[in-house]
């Protein structure tokens, strides 16, 4: 019984030292911001704020200060402590997000990543250096050797404007996706889309029409049509113009899907809208009688809920598209590291304070006893007693020195954290560090790890040399060992020039 209590207490303490990071979904489009946090599969918190015109237009941030202000107001409703960040996965409009389905040949697992990268670079509609891009498997073709994937591409500037606004308002962004990816996920989860059947998802909102094809339960392609495209040179959109334009767009995307897959046709459509429902159903019934329409409840099928479902997945198992610099696992490892260091800082300061109070109380007690003893105490002139007192003084001096060292370690915590984050960023995806040998008070560091190849290790060394905070970077040939699978173990020595990370 006692052992169980001790074990439970230990587990509780470890949980507080490395607490689980809660993640929510955050949707931003041209008219609303939605925040959705789930507990299991149930909504725990759902907040919606209207966006004034001119803040986000055509899928881009047009007024960053205005967006930060509204997001800051949202943060206050979620978290009363302004300095405490709220972790989210962000979903943005699809206006400027390009999708490309890709079919891969049979490849060994070790060649897959390089093949995907080359394919994405070849089909990218944006200059690859100016783009964020990522990919994921389609449906059941996942696993070690997926046959079908989709690649997503977006201009870096667009994503950076969203990220800077969201982060400035106190949110920690784990991943960035887009509304159709979120919608297909929640439509499949809620049963509106069957994974075994191809389906067309149509969302109608204040910006225009978002059309997305679901293939094998996964997003396959999407397409956005703004109301300006329907309006043309006219001031308003007539009902006939809407019906004609809608039929034309549905015909385009269904024909594209049939031509791409060769053997599948779309016979199901999920409509996500609060307006033009009957008019839309009438167009589909007249122009596409083979397509069955289901109208989804927007409270159950919306991008905010869809991205919140992704937040329930452990970060280490999240391999879906993320249009940003860091993977979801890297972002949360950074956040967990910050929380872990902060917890240990508080523990060290608390213990140090307790020991200091204990020492001061002991000193006062000794003083009081000495005063009460008086000069007549025969022990005062006893050489043995004098020697013991000198020993106690030396122990007290040693204790004070230890307290000073603890204080110094606490003050240098931020420097050490900055060093760890810097090394992780420089290492990148192709280097795994498993040893950082750093002695407090010394500027020399030894790094040990493994790279995907000898070339990757050499590139890592060159990146370290380029960093102004490091000097004396040394990698000798004897410190590189090539493994049978082509990976390379290595040891690099360097010195820290300054801690300004």
345 in the same domain as 308: no
CA atoms within 13 A on the CB side of 334: 17
pLDDT value for 477: 81
Strand-strand pairing, 208-215 and 218-226: antiparallel
453 in the same domain as 439: yes
Q: Where a domain ends, among 325, 359, 386?
A: 325
Q: Residue 452: which domain range?
A: 415-496
SS3 for 312? coil
Q: How far is CA 68 from the centre of its chain?
A: 19
β partners of residue 270:
201, 294
Let me know if residue 294 belongs to a domain: yes
- Give the pLDDT confidence of 136-194 residue by residue, as tens digits: 999 755 455 668 899 999 999 999 999 999 999 999 999 999 999 999 999 999 999 99
SS3 for 337? helix
Answer for the pair 333, 427: CB distance below 8 angstroms, yes or no. no
100 in the same domain as 244: yes
Q: If we measure between CA atoms, which residue out of 273, 227, 217, 216 comes closest to residue 249?
A: 227
CATH number for the domain spanning 484: value is 3.30.1360.100
Q: Which tokens belong to 249?
A: 């767009």
Let me know if residue 217 belongs to a domain: yes
Let me know if residue 428 belongs to a domain: yes
Structural domain tally of the chain? 3
CATH number for the domain spanning 298: value is 3.30.420.380
Residues of the chain predicted below pLDDT 70? 1-21, 41, 109, 140-146, 315, 326-347, 349, 370-389, 391-392, 394-415, 440-441
Q: Which tokens belong to 132?
A: 């964020």
How many other β-carbons are positioned within 10 Å of the β-carbon of residue 51? 19
SS3 for 46? strand
pLDDT value for 357: 77
Let me know if residue 175 belongs to a domain: yes
343 in the same domain as 232: no
CA gap 122, 112 in Å, rounded: 15
Length of the chain: 501
C-alpha dihedral sign at 412, 414, 415, 419: positive
State the residue for tokens 């385009």.
252
Q: What pTM was estimated for this model as a whole? A: 0.65
222 in the same domain as 207: yes
147 in the same domain as 251: yes
419 in the same domain as 396: no
Answer for the pair 301, 205: CB distance below 8 angstroms, yes or no. no
Q: Which tokens belong to 443?
A: 């500027």
Q: Which tokens belong to 436?
A: 């950082």
pLDDT value for 374: 54
Let me know if residue 445 belongs to a domain: yes
Let me know if residue 7 belongs to a domain: no
CA gap 22, 174 in Å, rounded: 11
260 in the same domain as 183: yes
Let me know if residue 8 belongs to a domain: no
Let me know if residue 3 belongs to a domain: no
- Give the pLDDT confidence of 402-417 residue by residue, as tens digits: 556 555 555 555 567 7
pLDDT value for 7: 46
């Amino acid at each position: 019984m006692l052992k169980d209590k001790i074990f439970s207490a230990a587990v509780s303490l470890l949980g507080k030292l490395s607490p689980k990071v809660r993640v929510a979904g955050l949707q931003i489009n041209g008219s609303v911001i939605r925040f959705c946090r789930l507990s299991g599969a149930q909504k725990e918190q759902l907040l919606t704020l209207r966006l004034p015109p001119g803040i986000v237009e055509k899928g881009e941030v047009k007024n960053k200060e205005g967006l930060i202000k509204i997001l800051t107001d949202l943060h206050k409703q979620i978290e009363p402590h302004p300095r405490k960040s709220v972790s989210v996965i962000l979903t943005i409009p699809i206006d400027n997000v390009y999708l490309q389905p890709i079919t891969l040949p049979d490849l060994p697992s070790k060649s897959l990543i390089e093949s995907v990268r080359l394919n994405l670079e070849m089909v990218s509609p944006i200059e690859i250096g100016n783009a964020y891009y990522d990919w994921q498997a389609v449906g059941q073709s996942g696993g070690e050797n997926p046959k079908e994937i989709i690649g997503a591409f977006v201009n870096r500037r667009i994503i950076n404007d969203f990220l800077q606004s969201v982060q400035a308002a106190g949110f920690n962004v784990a991943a960035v996706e887009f509304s159709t990816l979120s919608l297909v996920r929640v439509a499949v989860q809620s049963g509106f889309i069957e994974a075994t059947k191809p389906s067309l998802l149509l969302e109608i909102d204040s910006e225009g029409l978002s059309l997305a094809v679901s293939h094998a339960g996964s997003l396959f392609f999407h397409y956005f049509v703004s109301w300006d495209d329907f309006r043309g040179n006219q001031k308003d959109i007539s009902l006939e113009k809407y019906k004609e334009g809608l039929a034309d767009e549905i015909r385009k995307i269904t024909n594209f899907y049939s031509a791409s897959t060769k053997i599948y046709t779309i016979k199901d459509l999920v409509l996500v809208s609060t307006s033009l429902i009957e008019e839309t159903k009438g167009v589909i019934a007249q122009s596409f009688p083979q397509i069955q329409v289901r109208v989804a409840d927007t409270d159950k099928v919306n991008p905010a809920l869809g991205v919140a479902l992704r937040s329930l997945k452990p970060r280490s198992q999240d391999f879906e598209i993320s249009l940003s610099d860091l993977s979801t696992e890297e972002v949360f490892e950074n956040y967990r590291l910050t929380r872990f260091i902060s917890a240990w800082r508080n523990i060290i300061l608390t213990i140090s304070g307790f020991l200091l109070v204990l020492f001061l109380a002991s000193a006062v007690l000794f003083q009081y006893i000495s005063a009460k003893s008086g000069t007549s105490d025969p022990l005062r002139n006893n050489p043995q007693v004098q020697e013991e007192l000198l020993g106690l003084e030396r122990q007290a001096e040693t204790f004070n020195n230890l307290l000073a060292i603890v204080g110094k370690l606490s003050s240098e915590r931020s420097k050490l954290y900055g060093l760890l984050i810097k090394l992780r960023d420089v290492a990148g995806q192709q280097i795994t560090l498993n040893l950082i040998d750093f002695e407090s008070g010394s500027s020399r560091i030894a790094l040990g790890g493994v790279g995907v190849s000898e070339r990757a290790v050499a590139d890592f060394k060159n990146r370290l040399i380029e960093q102004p905070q490091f000097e004396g970077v040394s990698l000798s040939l004897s410190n590189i060992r090539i493994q049978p699978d082509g990976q390379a173990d290595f040891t690099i020595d360097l010195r820290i020039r300054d801690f300004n990370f």
